[in-house]
Amino acid sequence: MDIDFPLVLVVLTFATGVVWLADVLFLKKRRLADRDQGGEVGESESESESGSGDKEPWLVDISRSFFPVLAVVLVLRSFLIEPFQIPSGSMLPTLEVGDFILVNKYAYGLRLPVAGTKVVEIGDPERGDVMVFRYPEDGSTNYIKRVIGLPGDHVRYRNKQLFINDEPLPRDFVARLPPMERWREQLGGVEHDLYLTMGRVSGSGEGEWVVPDGHYFVMGDNRDNSNDSRFWGTVPDEMVVGKAFAIWMHWQSLTSLPSFDRVGGIQ
């Protein structure tokens, strides 16, 4: 079962904050009052000097220690930058399995954690952006693809050629790397590389789509090995998480050492 980390973080932050606040406003005063009353009815001198009557309960101590840390983490990952790990090869050659990336959470507007509701308008996804979003069919799994179509666009994919509003996207052959061919495509103002599988017919990945208002059409750069909008539809704006902008580490598996050879921006 997948753990909803944002929800867990929100709950822990709220819970520790409530406990700490309750102690500041009510519980600490009650402990001090009980200690003073205990002294009046004959508290031992050693007990009074040690201040044991004012000892914080363990839950209050933990909450006071962890709340500031949890609050900072919540703000950073909800509104500024969040790290992700690439689990599949659908974005090859741009992103490899084991890449650790950074995602700009405010590029497309500030959103409430968990709910994803946009509260401050800043910007919108653009063609060519590498975007992280929640998978529309379950609403919780994070996916990463490239933005191909914007609201109102007519997208067509035929014979491994992409058309936007009836215009074929310019592309140049780079290299043959059996079983792949590497091409360089111009998408809006972004030039990026993609993989096409030699000898494989596009098949069910072909079609035509009109992007609804408030939605985005996305595809993986590994065109013949990507589960994307060609198969399950467009991404609604409320599912958008942020814009991937940098690779900060590559770690293939726990049996290998982390590598920093791929550190850099994402095109």
**Could you give the C-alpha distances from 138 to 2, 80, 141, 172, in angstroms and in order?**
12, 25, 7, 37
Among 105, 145, 160, 243, the one annotated catalytic? 145
For CA atoms 19, 116, 244, 174, give the dihedral sign. positive
Give me the amino acid identity at 67.
Answer: F
CA-based Rg of the chain, rounded to a whole angstrom? 26
| Largest separation between any pair of C-alpha atoms in the chain | 91
Provide CB contacts within 8 A for 147, sequence distance 6+. 125, 126, 127, 128, 129, 130, 131, 216, 217, 218
State yes or no: is 118 an active-site residue. no
142-149 and 171-177 beta bridge pairing: unpaired
Give yes or no: 88 in active site: no
Amino acid at 93: P
Question: Would you say the C-alpha torsion 46, 48, 49, 51 has a positive or negative sign?
Answer: positive
What the block records as the tokens of 159 is 């014979």
With CA atoms as reference, report the closest residue to 164 among 204, 213, 217, 229: 217
Task: Give me the catalytic one of 90, 160, 229, 243.
Answer: 90
List residues with catalytic annotation.
90, 145
